[in-house]
């Protein structure tokens, strides 16, 4: 008997975007309020897990054709190169820099290199979580 | 270049990430991994020169002032350890080309080795106790991958034990650091040393010292915490075993030496005496194990435990001769254990078994292998011109100077047991009647034998040129003996 999960799938299609936006918000707010790369990454991964629950593995990998191992490696590289940037200015490793910029639409904002490091953390968390879930899920 | 001391950590880390991008291209994996290790080795040589000429190198990450940021410190002891572990990793990778097999190579084997080297080098270089925990986890997690990779039945069984023991000891490490932090209120190792000296090591600090001994003793396999080691190390393939045997226990030994010479120096009557008794028991337990087995892997594995005991006995004496001997013996043991594991790997590959009673007569077909093994065996036992001699001589001298007569005599006697255990391998495998073997192809044999010979040659040079190495070793020992040098390098002036 084939179960009809139209309600689950329809709500998932809406809720996924809400979760994803919330995770991005949490990620960007990390410098001044609770949040940051780790929670943001976990929230994004949980959004994808919701997709996996409502649909099957094949549909989700067609919709999001991402190699999560490569994503992890890129995240690590981003984090390391942000920290290693300090080496070229001959200051101790991990020295961050920030400044104020006038951005179109957003106005005066401070941009900090810690953000790039956090992006690396975000990619690693999403990559590792999804690698674990996909490899266990695809295992027969 | 104020960041130079970080390069031995960053280079393997960076190349391991690169290797994660193309796991299936074996040739590229091999090339990149060996390039990374050669580069790391070169950089470490430059660092060694810099530490020798300019003294201890220290940096606090993120340009924060010293006790508040994470300090990384490269003194002579740590740079020598980083150099020898990089060398071992390089030769093990070379050995792996012809022994580990395509399946493992295409499933993150080389990234695993590089990540492990990141952790090992980091643990040797860090100047922050919690950062040391993090680097321990980096090297342990990579070792979990390497011990289970391949998924044979024995590996699965032993990796469960290995992970269980290490998870427990890591949890204990966190608890111990929490105790220390609640008493002292700092994590920077130089600052901890200053603060402990200020409060004159009350009872609670001695308790924490014993807890640290428990934690690092579990990692470094001292008596009675070595129970997990013999069976766990026998499970993975030979190159992984060589890497583990040469490096992992030494990180625990280094951590004990560091904490017991930098932090807990004011109640030596209790802490160091306890360390000495435990190290003597470790030697006895190792000797019993090394003589009991007919399995070549087990014999060498129990020799790791003996060496851990000998090094820690030297560290517990707290005088110049014994500490210098410990440093000499520590580096010697990294080199010679790597060499011995690679050599018995060749023997196992030729005979197809690790049981001594099923071997024999190899000297007729493989004379070079036989004589190289004999040199390595004599080196391990400490026969004069070879590498194990000077370290053990200084340790015994230090033991006599400190008035520990029986401990020193026991160390001398343990050399006999060591010699007997490794010569038994030589007698059983190389002498006697020839048993039927499946000869290796020339190329395969050379791929296995060359790294082992190079390592034995380096250990012979290490022994012959020990006079030339003395200034380096006495630099390393002087930092252990005078924590003030270390504290001054990290915290500046004062």
pLDDT digits (tens, 9 = 90+) for B45-67: 999 999 999 989 999 998 888 88
Tens place of pLDDT for every residue, chain A, 140 residues? Answer: 678 889 999 999 999 999 999 999 999 988 889 989 999 999 999 999 999 999 888 889 899 999 999 999 999 999 999 998 888 888 889 888 888 888 887 888 888 888 899 999 999 999 999 999 999 988 76
B55 Ramachandran zone, left/alpha/beta (phi>0; psi -120 to 50)? left
Neighbours of B50 (CB within 10 A): 16
Of the pLDDT bands very low, low, confident and very high (cuts 50, 70, 90), residue B401 is: very high
Q: B193-217: per-residue pLDDT in tens?
A: 999 999 988 999 999 999 999 999 9
Q: Is B188 left (phi over 0), alpha (psi -120 to 50) or beta?
A: beta
Residues in chain B with CB shorter than 8 Å from the CB of A76 are: 17, 20
End-to-end CA distance of chain B: 25
A/B interface, count of CB pairs below 8 Å: 45
Element (H, E) at A108: strand A107-112
The answer for residues whose C-beta is within 8 angstroms of residue B136's C-beta and 6 or more apart is B119, B123, B170, B173, B219, B251
The closest CB to that of B63, out of A70, A84, A92, belongs to: A92
**What gap in Å lies between CA A51 and CA A49, rounded to an integer?**
5
Q: Which of A80, A86, A96 sits opposite B14 (nearest CB)?
A: A80
Contacts of A73 (CB under 8 A, 6+ apart): A127, B17, B18, B20, B21
State the pLDDT confidence band at B433, using cuts at 50, 70 and 90: confident
Q: What is the DSSP letter of B431?
A: S
Token pair for B209: 């010292």
Contact list in A for residue B13 (CB cut-off 8 A) is 80
**Does the ipTM exceed 0.85?**
yes
C-alpha to C-alpha distance for B275 and B262, rounded to whole angstroms: 15
In this structure, what are the phi and psi dihedrals at residue B188, rounded to the nearest 5 degrees? -70, 125
> What's the gap between Cα A65 and its chain centre?
15
Sign of the alpha-carbon torsion through A22, A27, A32, A38: positive
Nearest to A94 among B14, B18, B61 (CB): B61
Q: Report the pLDDT value the prediction gives residue A140, as an integer from 0 to 100.
A: 66
Cβ-Cβ contacts under 8 Å, B23 against chain A: 69
Asked if residues B455 and B92 have their Cβ atoms less than 8 Å apart, the reply is: no
Q: How much is the pTM? A: 0.94
Beta-carbon contacts of residue A6 (< 8 Å; ≥ 6 apart): none
Kindly determine whether residue B20 and residue A91, on different chains, have CB atoms separated by under 8 Å.
no
CB atoms within 10 A of CB B35: 12
The whole-angstrom separation of Cα A134 and Cα A114 is: 30
Separation between Cα atoms, residue B217 and residue B442, nearest integer Å: 43
């Amino acid at each position: 008997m084939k179960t009809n999960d139209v309600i689950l799938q329809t709500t998932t299609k809406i809720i996924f975007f809400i979760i994803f936006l919330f995770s991005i918000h949490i990620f960007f707010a990390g410098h001044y309020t609770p949040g940051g790369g780790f929670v943001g990454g976990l929230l994004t991964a949980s959004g994808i897990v919701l997709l996996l629950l409502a649909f099957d593995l094949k549909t989700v990998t067609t919709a999001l054709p991402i190699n999560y191992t490569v994503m992890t490696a890129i995240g690590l590289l981003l984090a390391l190169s942000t920290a290693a940037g300090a080496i070229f200015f001959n200051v101790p490793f991990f020295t961050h820099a920030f400044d104020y910029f006038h951005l179109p639409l957003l106005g005066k904002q401070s941009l900090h290199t810690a953000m790039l490091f956090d992006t690396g953390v975000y990619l690693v968390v999403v990559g590792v979580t999804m690698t674990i879930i996909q490899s266990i899920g695809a295992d027969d | 270049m104020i960041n130079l001391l970080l390069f031995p950590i960053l280079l393997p880390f960076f190349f391991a990430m690169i290797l994660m991008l193309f796991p299936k291209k074996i040739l590229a994996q091999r090339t990149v991994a060996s390039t990374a290790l050669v580069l790391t080795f070169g950089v470490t040589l430059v660092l060694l020169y810099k530490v020798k000429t300019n003294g201890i190198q220290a940096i606090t990450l993120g340009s924060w002032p010293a006790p508040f940021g994470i300090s990384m410190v490269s003194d002579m002891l740590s740079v020598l350890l980083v150099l020898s572990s990089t060398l071992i990793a390089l030769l093990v990778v070379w050995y792996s080309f012809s022994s580990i097999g395509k399946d493992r190579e295409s499933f993150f084997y080389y990234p695993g080795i590089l990540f492990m080297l990141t952790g090992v080098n980091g643990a040797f270089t860090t100047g922050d106790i919690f950062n040391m925990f993090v680097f321990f986890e980096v090297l342990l997690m990579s070792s979990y991958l390497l011990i289970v990779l391949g998924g044979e039945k024995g590996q699965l069984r032993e990796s469960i034990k290995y992970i269980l023991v290490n998870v427990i000891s890591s949890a204990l490490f966190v608890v111990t650091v929490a105790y220390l932090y609640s008493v002292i209120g700092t994590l920077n190792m130089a600052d901890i040393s200053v603060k402990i000296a200020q409060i004159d090591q009350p009872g609670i600090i001695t308790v924490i010292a014993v807890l640290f001994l428990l934690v690092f003793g579990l990692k470094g396999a001292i008596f009675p915490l070595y129970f997990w080691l013999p069976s766990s190390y026998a499970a993975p393939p030979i190159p992984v075993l060589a890497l583990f045997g040469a490096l992992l226990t030494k990180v625990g030994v280094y951590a004990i030496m560091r904490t017991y010479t930098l932090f807990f120096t004011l109640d030596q009557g209790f802490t160091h005496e306890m360390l000495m008794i435990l190290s003597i028991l470790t030697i006895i337990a190792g000797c019993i194990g090394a003589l009991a087995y007919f399995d070549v892997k087990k014999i060498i594995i129990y020799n790791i435990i003996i060496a851990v005991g000998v090094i820690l006995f030297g560290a517990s004496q707290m005088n110049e001769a014994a500490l210098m001997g410990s440093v000499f013996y520590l580096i010697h043991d990294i080199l010679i254990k790597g060499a011995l594991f690679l050599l018995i790997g060749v023997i196992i590959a030729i005979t197809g078994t690790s049981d001594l009673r099923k071997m024999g007569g190899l000297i007729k077909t493989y004379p070079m292998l036989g004589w190289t093994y004999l040199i390595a065996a004599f080196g391990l036992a400490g026969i004069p011109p070879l590498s194990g001699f000077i370290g053990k001589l200084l340790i015994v001298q230090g033991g006599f100077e400190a008035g520990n007569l029986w401990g020193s005599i026991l160390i001398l006697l343990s050399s006999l047991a060591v010699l007997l255990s490794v010569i038994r391998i030589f007698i059983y495998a190389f002498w006697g009647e020839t048993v039927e073997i499946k000869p290796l192809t020339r190329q395969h044999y050379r791929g296995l034998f060359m790294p082992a010979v190079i390592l034995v040659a380096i250990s012979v040079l290490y022994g012959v040129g020990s006079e030339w190495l003395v200034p380096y070793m006495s630099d390393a020992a002087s930092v252990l003996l005078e924590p003030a040098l270390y504290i001054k390098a990290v915290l500046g002036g004062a």
